[in-house]
Amino acid sequence: MQSVLLDAPAGITVRLGWDPKLPEHDRKRALAREIVAAQLGVDERAVRIEREAPRDFGFHTHLIAEVEGKEVPLHIRNANFRAATVVAVADPAVPLGLDLRDAHPDDATLHEMQRHSHLLEDADLGKRLAHWTRVQAVRDADGRGARVAADHVRLDSPLTKGWIPDRRVYYQLADLSRDSWIITLAYGAAPV
């Protein structure tokens, strides 16, 4: 699998990988293993990436890292789109959200974006994609995902901060796009 380190904010490591022959489960584990091994200065073979056990029905599990049978305290998030996967790793106290998509969306995606967007119908595709990917990254960082309607997410004008009005959490937004992939990272502040 080909992968590349993306230019992320301090304290957050993000890698993009793509391989149409590799299933998404293998891609995200390989990318997470690569990041965790580099952060800890250990061989990749010493890192094991597993899914946490589901707590109840409908619970979306997260990836966890283990080295020598001990869980490593890191927050791992991932997003997938077709043959590409992006993985972000940070301190467990830092809320993270990711969105990954193709720069050339299909008609169904365009319709969904327009239906749930605060932008006027005549907004160009670039503005609509920038807005939509940031909304999706904020929903991912919030943790409730699709249970929060996309049109409830608020963004500031320069699209650098997002929030959901019923919570007092504001997320910084970073555009990590690369080649034909639009990648947005939403992240909260680490506690001091």
Task: Give the residues across from 57 on adjacent strands.
Answer: none
Residue found by looking up tokens 């960082």 in the block: 141
DSSP 131: H
Instruction: Look at residue 7 in the predicted model and tell me its pLDDT.
Output: 97
- pLDDT tens sequence across 73-130: 999 999 999 999 999 999 999 999 999 999 998 888 888 888 776 665 666 888 889 9
Q: Measure the CA–CA gap between 85 and 80, rounded to whole angstroms.
A: 4
Is residue 181 helix, strand or coil? strand
pLDDT tens digit sequence for 120-144? 566 688 888 999 999 999 999 998 8
Spatial distance between the Cα atoms of 76 and 35, rounded to a whole number of angstroms: 10
Crossing angle (nearest 10°) for helices 125-142 and 107-116 = 70
Interior/surface letters 147-178, b for 16+ CB within 10 angstroms, e for the rest: ebebeebebeeebebbbbeeeeeebebbbbbe
Classify residue 67: in a domain, yes or no.
Answer: yes
31, part of any domain: yes
Residue 138 to residue 42: CA distance in whole angstroms: 32
CB 164 within 8 A of CB 148: yes
* Dist CA 75 CA 63 (whole Å): 8
Whether 107 maps to a domain, the answer reads yes
Examine residue 192 and state whether it is found in any structural domain, yes or no: no
pLDDT, one tens digit per residue, over 156-192 is: 999 999 999 999 899 999 999 998 999 999 999 765 5
Domain count, the chain: 1
For residue 84, the surrounding DSSP H or E stretch is strand 84-90
Q: Is residue 48, in this structure, part of any structural domain at all?
A: yes
Residue 91 lies in a domain: yes
Under DSSP, is residue 145 helix (H, G, I), strand (E, B) or coil?
helix
pLDDT higher at 28 or 111: 28
> Does residue 42 form part of some domain?
yes
- Confirm if 187 and 10 have CB atoms less than 8 A apart: no
Domain that holds residue 27: 2-187
- For residue 87, give Cα distances in angstroms to 3, 23, 78, 146: 11, 15, 4, 20
